[in-house]
Amino acid sequence: MRITPSGRQDLTSQEDSSSTRPGWLWNTPRHVAIIMDGNGRWARKRHLPRIVGHRAGASSVRTIVTAARTWEIPYLTLYAFSWENWSRPRQEVDGLMNLLEEYIDNEIRTMVDRGIRFSVVGDRSRLPASVRKKIAWAEGETIGKDRMVLTLALSYSGREEIVRAARNMAQDVQKGLLSPEKISETVFSRYLETSVLPPPDLLIRTSGEVRISNFFLWQLAYTEMYFTPTLWPDFGEESFRQAIEDFQERRRRFGKADEDIEGLPG
Ligand code: IPE
Ligand code: IPE
Ligand code: MG
């Protein structure tokens, strides 16, 4: 069932009441992950410095987090800074780190009030001490919040996460805590830093690039992918809704024959 745009507006403005969930919000993804790309191109189009694009991107983050929370999506993961992004010019990296601190400062109250748990995955050791401190503080402030988990992938590399899991597992084998025969997909995934998150149902990448850029390599095995040319600073609530509606049209087979999928006509 679809409802009219005006009906959608009216309903989404009423927060925190599942009885007022907009009609189009059936079969929503449990976990949405987003590769937020295109800030630089957004700025270049306007002859502005890249950091202005990142600032506009932070405003999109606010919009999308609010929408996800209102639509009762339990897990939202945002790829904010890759391990490879450390090779960008110092000035851009510093600007991004400052923006991140600013974002946490500005949003912490909203996160606490709306029951959003904040968490970060990635190699924190490379982050400046002040950013590490701010992240730890925000994680502490929002601990136990259970309406939505907002995860930022920061200084993150999918391959590095897998290598780290393998290393930790090898150490447990060496200590006699784990026998190699017991290693299965389930056991392996427990060693991943993201083990507490369900795999994403929907991955969105903005800016027209059609690649994963070392994001969730393990976790995306059966994720539905949605690529849009829209640049991240232009990606608003309506774009997000379109991505979710596209997801709702997908037939997820997980390798099965269509006829064997529960709830679908043969
Ligand atoms: C995404 O925008 C933000 C980060 C990777 C930090 P980009 O900065 O990659 O923007 P483009 O791809 O150059 O347009
Ligand atoms: C991927 O974007 C990382 C983030 C969005 C944080 P990039 O802009 O770094 O990716 P490539 O270099 O185009 O693959
Ligand atoms: Mg990019």
pLDDT in tens, 187-215: 999 999 999 999 999 999 999 999 999 99
The residues annotated as belonging to the active site are: 37, 85
- Rounded Cα–Cα distance for residues 158 and 83 (Å): 9
Q: How confident is the model at residue 260 (pLDDT cuts 50, 70, 90)?
A: confident
- Ligand 1, atom 13: nearest CA belongs to which residue? 40
> Would you say the CB of residue 36 lies under 6 angstroms from ligand 1?
yes
Q: Within a domain: residue 152?
A: yes
Compute the average pLDDT of residues 57-68: 98
Q: Within a domain: residue 42?
A: yes
- Ligand 2, atom 10: nearest CA belongs to which residue? 213
Q: Within a domain: residue 264?
A: no
pLDDT mean across residues, the chain: 92
Compute the average pLDDT of residues 232-247: 98
Least confident of 6-20, 47-61, 112-126, 137-151: 6-20
207 lies in which domain range? 29-157+199-248
Task: Tell me what pLDDT residue 144 has.
Answer: 97
Task: Tell me what pLDDT residue 266 has.
Answer: 40
Instruction: Give pLDDT tens digits for 2-25.
Output: 333 333 333 334 444 445 677 788
The atom of ligand 1 lying closest to the CA of 36 is 1
Compute the average pLDDT of residues 252-257: 92
Q: Within a domain: residue 189?
A: no
For ion ligand 3, residues whose CB falls within 5 Å: 37
Candidates 34, 35, 36, 37: which one to mutate for ligand 2, based on the most atoms within 8 Å of Cβ? 37
Tell me the whole-structure pTM to 2 decimals: 0.91
What type of residue is 107?
E
Task: Tell me what pLDDT residue 230 has.
Answer: 98
- Rounded Cα–Cα distance for residues 202 and 74 (Å): 13
* Pick from 82, 67, 2: nearest CA to 32: 67
What type of residue is 136?
A
Closest ligand to residue 39's CA: 1
Beta-carbon contacts of 152 under 8 Å, excluding residues fewer than 6 positions away, are 77, 78, 80, 100, 118, 119, 120, 121, 122
Task: Tell me what pLDDT residue 10 has.
Answer: 37
The upper half-sphere exposure of residue 131, i.e. CA atoms within 13 Å in the direction of its Cβ, equals 21
Q: How confident is the model at residue 63 (pLDDT cuts 50, 70, 90)?
A: very high
Q: In whole angstroms, how far apart are CA 116 and each of 75, 146, 149?
A: 10, 6, 6
The atom of ligand 2 lying closest to the CA of 35 is 5
Question: How much of the chain exceeds pLDDT 90, in percent?
Answer: 86
Task: Tell me what pLDDT residue 171 has.
Answer: 98
> Would you say the CB of residue 206 lies under 6 angstroms from ligand 1?
no
CATH number, domain containing residue 75: 3.40.1180.10
* Pick from 198, 207, 103, 209: nearest CA to 152: 103
> Would you say the CB of residue 85 lies under 6 angstroms from ligand 1?
yes
- Count the domains in the chain: 1
Look at the chain and count its residues: 266
> Would you say the CB of residue 38 lies under 6 angstroms from ligand 1?
yes
> Would you say the CB of residue 39 lies under 6 angstroms from ligand 1?
yes
Q: Within a domain: residue 111?
A: yes
Q: Is the pLDDT of residue 263 over 70?
A: no
- Ligand 2, atom 1: nearest CA belongs to which residue? 213
Distance 153 CA to ligand 2 centre (A): 12
Q: Within a domain: residue 67?
A: yes
Q: Within a domain: residue 145?
A: yes
- Ligand 1, atom 4: nearest CA belongs to which residue? 81
Task: Tell me what pLDDT residue 11 has.
Answer: 37
Q: Is the pLDDT of residue 119 over 70?
A: yes
Task: Tell me what pLDDT residue 236 has.
Answer: 98
Whether 46 and 91 have beta carbons less than 8 Å apart is answered as no
Q: Within a domain: residue 263?
A: no
